[in-house]
Structure 1
Amino acid sequence: MGHRQARNHYYKKNPQPRSTKWVRYGAFGIKAAAGIGMLLLISYTFILAHDVITQSDFFRAKNISVQGNYRLSDSEILRQAQVNTESNILSVNLQVTRKRLLAHPWIAEAEIRRELPDAMAIKITEHKSLAIVDLGRKFIVSTRGEIFKTWSPMDDDTLPVINGLEFFDFDEPGKPRSLPFGAVMEVFQLGSKLNSILPTRFINRVFVDREIGITICAFEKNQTIKLGFHDYPEKYERLEEILIQMKNLKDIKDFDSIDLNSLERIVVSPIRIKSSAKDNKEV
């Protein structure tokens, strides 16, 4: 007797009515639209509040203080920063304003801050000019050893002039100073000291020879002082001794040149009172 094959019984779920699906989709759409509307409303509120605050007279810069300027006037700095007493302090972009200030050739550092509710403070550090360097074109070098602007006839023409350097001699981040430029800066540093025998203000020209070293033309008569490289503090001491000795010599009026390249063999070319002849003497 044969066996009957068991029948598999499948039960189908009752499909949801289409109307129920559309209700759910509609509810989701309404919620999404409400959320988007709320975001737009909040955004609009923030924009409106921002416009009200940044245009309010309550935050107008009634007082703008400027510190650290000696060469530049307050009005020049405010003009460079593009702020004035009509500016709303909350509408001023501090980072952009600082970049504007640093774009001025005479400004080395700049800070700007708000002082709520109606003031701003600007503090700058100006470059201090040290010398003019002739690189085919003339530039001004700061006391930090940086070229910060092209020299123009409107600038100070009494600064010492440096000849013999190249662009690659000047300071670069992470790069040590070249020997010639380091020698020039050391001479100026010694000249800036109190009671220096060779003050920077008396230096007219500095000539750089990469083989021989530094030669200075100084004082009213452009007298020559050859310093070579290295041992500048000791050479300045010897120079002071020589000048003191010359003052005690009745027949010596002044000197034409002093060669201090070697401390073991110093050569002085004096100018005598009775004769215009110049003698070379070793000291």
Structure 2
Amino acid sequence: MVEESRPAFAAERRERILELVRAHGTMSLRDLAVKVGASEVTVRRDVRALEAEGLVDRRRGGVALPGRIGHEQSYAGRSGRCAAEKSAIAAAALRLVKPGDAITVGPGTTTEAFARELASRSDITVVTNSLRVADALLGASGIEVVVTGGTLHAPVRALVGAAAEQSLAGLRVNRAFLSGNGVSAERGLSTPNPAVAAVDRALADCAEETVVLADHTKIGADTMVSTVAPESIAHLVTDTSADPEVLMTLEETGALVHVAVVEQERGQ
């Protein structure tokens, strides 16, 4: 008898899925399948059952706690998650920066990792509203850092508001490097906070191209406020655990997808 036809096993597996989602907030079906030792088809069926009970919300390629679409985690709560993936994404994104470039960099733990990689470069101008990005570049002698004005938004350690948006008006840069809480082919890049979204849009509007940095937990996820339309994403840099079906749909909107390999996976 196969596992999914045995109610006792199904109940245990669904309880484990619920525990994982509660612990992480959002998870992809692929990650859940690995964690519980079942197929994605089985996990998808379990998730439908949990959603019917009001315990989780389904989304393309993954699952979240109910009401997660409008929730904004603290910076500290996000910083330790997928650290290896974010480091690999940051290193891959660095290849899109050339000497003499001017770029904008938005807030987030992934863009902070990117800034640490960027610190090794020279002859670069970085415009940012992120205090953590600016701090990561503090000792980089070859990089000119321009920080916007604005009001501090503590959850993302970034400056937001009219002053931040106005300080970006009229600027022109080569690329914008942005992160967020979700990226999908339907809504593009999104974030839970309208003030953060408004400055993200201003950072993108400055640039000839927009590069989105997103680990696999963000791929296929939607949050409350859309910041960059899917057709405006020129490059998406993610990791090998991202849902391939969602990546295909993003490629169909015109994004060039770069898949970064985590250091531990090299040579396997």
TM-score for the superposition, normalised by structure 1: 0.22
Which of the two has greater helix per residue? 2
Which of the two has greater strand per residue? 1
TM-score for the superposition, normalised by structure 2: 0.23
Structure with higher RCO (Cα < 8 A, 6+ apart): 2
